[in-house]
Structure 1
Amino acid sequence: MRASHALAAAGQGDMVWGHTAVRDPEGRGIWIKAPGWGLEEVREERLQLVSWAADVLEGEGAPHKECHIHLEVLRANPELTCCVHTHAPDAVAFAALDVPLLPLSHEGALFAGEDVPRFRDTGALVSTAALGKALAATLGDAPAALMPRHGLVAASRGVPAAVMHAVLLDRACRTQLTALAAGPPRTYSDAAEARAKRAQCWPDSQLEAGWRYLLRRAATHRTT
């Protein structure tokens, strides 16, 4: 629930589309918002427990058509706890250019000087287990991946880091789009500096700090 609110506070809402899922601590599947609700609207009673077979065990309604994103990403790596999928506008726009993501900024250094993975099998819904498995393979051990013509996916061992990976990828895309509007980028971190910046700028403590800020911002929006 809080992951959805944090993503909404970061501007990654898309009306009722986009979702985040958390591994059920009892191993029964994933917790995900029910279809038809915006990220900022998620409440406990609007959550579903979806089994690994994509059946709704608790909650109302049918499961998300794209629940396979989260089921297969989390199934592929038992260490992961949280998976995020949004239609972040800057990530979608940047992916359409099909150019490498450069470490122009702290956010760009999240990938340690390497390009962000891209899932190219489809730009339509990831509505089958087979597509979910392919997406999970594309993501691999990366913090996040672009889904050209669609959105992004991010994941981590903790909820705060998964949310921040999605937020930081979108911010890195926005920075590069802004630079490209004025011409080709001329200066950015080399691989060694990018690796060092990832360790310096994005340890768990800083991801947690960003997460707490987004929660405070979400709480402020709910009370104003």
Structure 2
Amino acid sequence: MPLPPLNCPSCGAMLELKYRHSKMVVCKYCGQTSYLNVDSLFTVGSPIVLVDYGSVLSVGKRGKIKNKPFEVVGRLRFDYEDGFWDEWLLIMDNEAEIWLQEDEGEFVLFRKKNLSDPPQYTSLVVGSITAIETDDVFLTEKNKAVINGGEGELPFQVVAGEKADYVDGIVVGKKLIASLEYMPDGVVYNVAEPLTMKDFLFN
């Protein structure tokens, strides 16, 4: 259900929030990031506008993934030594929070899960198998990243330049991708399924 509109504290533009769990919104007009506090906004950091690299997705885009309707309400971009990747926040037809990761034209669909007892980043070794939740994960990559910025709405508060180290792997015995993201407010565990363009239908 859409929330009452608010005005950007920086430029005064009207911001129509669509996701009831939003804690952060980026103004599409001036690029100012604001945190949502009950029914008001306060700015954080300097305005940032993400460079458009021609993705098929954009905030406000609607369509279907495997015949399930979705709408894009936000994006978060991460920089790492080999480039960047985007994570798009999708709201499905039942308002479930789903994330779509895009990296060099490849897509994976996942849900974020907070861990109560996450493994230490320094203890993880590429090429080993680590138990995460109920999964055994073969670790394939470990790297450091930073948050470049965001747009639209997000269900957590971040600031451009904050660390977001990650470890990627494969769930043993399943055709699923796993990753650990060491975000500013905690460690997030992602389990994802790869997608192809055949899985998308855009309105």
Q: Give the alignment's TM-score, normalised by structure 2.
A: 0.31
Quick check: which one's helix share is greater? 1
Quick check: which one's strand share is greater? 2
Q: Give the alignment's TM-score, normalised by structure 1.
A: 0.29
Higher relative contact order (CA 8 A, sep 6+): 1
